[in-house]
Structure 1
Amino acid sequence: MSDHNLTIKAFVKLGDFLRSFCEYIESGNRLDTTDDEWFSIFRTEVEMAHHYNGWFTKDNCIHAFSTWGNTLTQPNLENWLSTYDLERNQKKTVALIMAGNIPLVGFHDLLSVLVTGNKALVKLSSSDQKLIPLLIRYLSSIEPYFKEKVVFTKERLTHFDAVIATGSNNTARYFEYYFSKKPNIIRKNRNSVAVLSGKESHKELTALGEDIFRYFGLGCRSVSKIFLPKNYEIDQFYKAMFNYNEIINHNKYANNYDYNKAVYLMSEFKILDNGFLILKEDESYASPIASLFYEYYEDAAELQKRLSADSEKIQCIVSSNFLDAEVAFGTTQTPSLTDYADGLDTVEFLLAT
């Protein structure tokens, strides 16, 4: 069996396991007794995750596992890779510098490196040292091939042929200088926005809450700003958000809510508040935790031009019949394999390097 087919087969098995594990967590019923030991290992890691990262709640970890479980199927993987000539790949070691803002945030890059037949040299974020190594441990248990293909390190990165690094706009400048002599993808800060027309149903607006509140708004695919038509009735938005009110019971989120509300009030900014989400009119895209920026628009065509001009700052645009490349309400945190971060085709980069 070729390395490519062997890798795909292993990831399909990982997807099967993740779906079974998530169903087990939700129902308490084991679906495959041969995986009892791994069910126990994964359950322990999920239940302990919040001890080393307070944002990694059980619910958010399970969501990440479930999303990847539904993604890693034979048809999905084959359809994704069918447009590439994997034989073009020149085997190499690819350094991956990962973020840790949400669970499994760097897994797509790691998957891309492995399915193209390359070796990954991984430097994990201090905020997520457990979950991705856990998936690699499982993969290695069903296919020892991966033991030689993934190396985790805390040391200075050396002996690699290309690099994919994710960080803030500040660290990106350092990455661009440090890795300038190697083929690279340097990922910077991005945010996601939603454009409302005022004709959205209550169901659509409620789904938008998933895009706003999932992972506490910490992901680049999290909606941090909404554009509203002139004279929009904000009450219909807030009514739809009510289903997410329990988020204020999370200590770290509540602390951010209290802090940001105090800052806004002391600065005499005009804000709207429902007790767990602060709305502030602001032209920026990146809103603080527990806050959502909003801005009114009058001309849809002008807004389209603006968003196009700011495309390097934006990861996703959630809307309905506004743009060709829009994302449906409630789906930003369930991307497909072809939804590359920053719109850069990672697989093509790896094959061409």
Structure 2
Amino acid sequence: MTFHDRKSNFIELGRFLEQFTLTTEETSEKSAENEELYNELNNKIDNAVHHNGWFTRENIISSINEWSKALKEENLATWLHMYDLEQKREQKTVAVIMAGNIPLVGFHDFLCVLMSGHKVLVKQSSNDKLLLPIIAKFLIQLNSEFENLIRFTEDQLKDFDAVIATGSNNTARYFEYYFKNKASIIRKNRNSVAVLTGNESEQQLKNLSQDIFRYFGLGCRNVSKLYVPEDYNFEQFYPAMFDWKDIMNHAKYANNYDYNKAVYLMSEFKILDNGFLILKEDESFGSPIATLFYERYSSKEDLKLKLEENKEKLQCVVAEGFMENEIKFGKTQHPKLWDYADDVDTMEFLLKL
């Protein structure tokens, strides 16, 4: 299979996934040639909601929507032109151990391995194991050569040359030991933060609410902490979060909110609360579900230095005109194909195997 074959096949996959973002009438018309697979994936979306209490149909469709956009021809061209992908290389098998915190969180690694010309051995999280096999099935039906390039396993990994593994800090230590003799990318916990100045518009803060609440805050790209000026007034912040008030209708989120609020109140921590989001002053980066940590700063330069010193703990810094490589408000859940997790170029790693 040539590089151009792989690229065109993933463009077709993007078109297939795009159907799940359209109205019922448009979907019915567009899905005719792939109606069976469309229905199968649609059913798996419903099954995934029952399988994982943190998955909702809205969030799964949001993830699929992002991938349908990412796989457009112009985006693939912008990403892939940076690499020499037409050069003949020895084909290797790359094991990908996926997280399951948000829907299809491991798809980028899956895409990178196949676009680099290697074989992928997928070990999915039990929390997100229903969606990707249908996507793989679509690719195989599109091009039978993918059948020899994609393998899923629930057993101990065997017969592979390199590994990409995503997990917690604890599992990362296990991965580093277990795969010490393999070429590897091992990802640990990371969090995202936002820097506010007090001059943000209402729309910017509303955009920030997407960064906070999408996927219930479970992703490493979700903002879990705010940095605010010493005199910051949260009266302008909370109204901008109001559109997400219905998140309390989700039982697992509401249970976390109630539990964390009770713990903070019993511990006599000073908190701010609007009925669905708790704000707690804390120096840590990672906050519990339904809680957002904040920390006050007096010097922008000191804050920049602090963030730089902790860059290995951070996935995204959301800000406007604050520092290089910042992410705009509302954009953390819309990464480009070249926005690599942990700033490690996955494609470059794969091409050097």
TM-score of the superposed pair, with normalisation by structure 1:
0.97
Mapped contact 2:227–2:294 kept (Cα < 8 A): yes
Read off the aligned partner of 1:19 and give its amino acid letter: E
2:303 match: secondary structure: helix
The correspondence of residues 2-17 of structure 1 with structure 2, limited to 5 A, is: 2-17=1-16
Matched residue SS, 2:120: strand
**Residue 75 of structure 1: how far off its partner (Å):** 1.4
Q: Is the 8 A contact 2:51 2:127 kept in 1?
A: yes
- State the 1:296 CA deviation: 0.5
Corresponding residue for residue 79 of structure 1: 78
Please report the RMSD computed on the Cα atoms of aligned residues, expressed in angstroms: 1.3
**In the superposition, relative to structure 1, how do residues 43 and 25 fare at CA in structure 2: closer, same or farther (>3 Å)?**
farther
1:223-302 maps to which residues of 2 (within 5 A)? 223-302=223-302
CA 1:26–1:242 in 2, change beyond 3 Å: closer, same or farther?
A: farther
Match of 1:209 in 2: 209
Alignment match, 1:22: 21
Q: Which ranges in structure 1 are unaligned for 5 or more consecutive residues?
A: none
- After TM superposition, the structure 1 stretch with the greater mean CA deviation from structure 2, 294-303 or 23-32, is 23-32
Residues 69, 25 of structure 1: alpha-carbon distance in 2 compared, 3 angstrom cutoff: farther
- Between the aligned partners of 2:255 and 2:60, the Cα distance in structure 1 is 21
The SS at the match of 1:30 is helix
For 1:52, the aligned partner's letter is H
Q: Deviations over 1:109-143 (max 9, x none)?
A: 01000000000111110111111112111111111
Q: Distance in 1 between matches of 2:130 and 2:299?
A: 47
CA displacement 1:197-218 (0-9 Å, x = unmatched): 1110000000000000000000
8 A Cα contact 2:19 2:27, kept in partner: no
Q: In the alignment, is residue 133 of structure 1 matched against residue 133 of structure 2? A: yes
Distance 1:28 1:150, change over 3 A: closer
Aligned residues: 352
Q: Kindly report which structure 2 residues correspond to 1:65-76, keeping only aligned pairs within 5 A, or say none.
A: 65-76=64-75
In structure 2, the CA distance between the partners of 1:294 and 1:26, relative to structure 1 (3 Å rule), is farther
Correspondence for 2:108: 108
**Equivalent-residue separation in structure 2 for 1:311 and 1:27 (angstroms):** 44
In the alignment, is the contact (CA less than 8 A) between 1:89 and 1:352 conserved in 2? no
Distance (Å, rounded) in 1 between the aligned partners of 2:31 and 2:285: 45
The match for 2:316 is 316
Conserved 8 A contact 1:225-1:287: yes
Provide the C-alpha distance between the structure 2 equivalents of 1:88 and 1:35, rounded to a whole number of angstroms: 33
Give how far 1:160 is off: 0.7
1:34 partner amino acid: E
CA distances 1:155-192 after superposition (whole Å, capped 9, x unpaired): 11111110000000000001001101111000000000
Report percent identity of matched pairs: 54
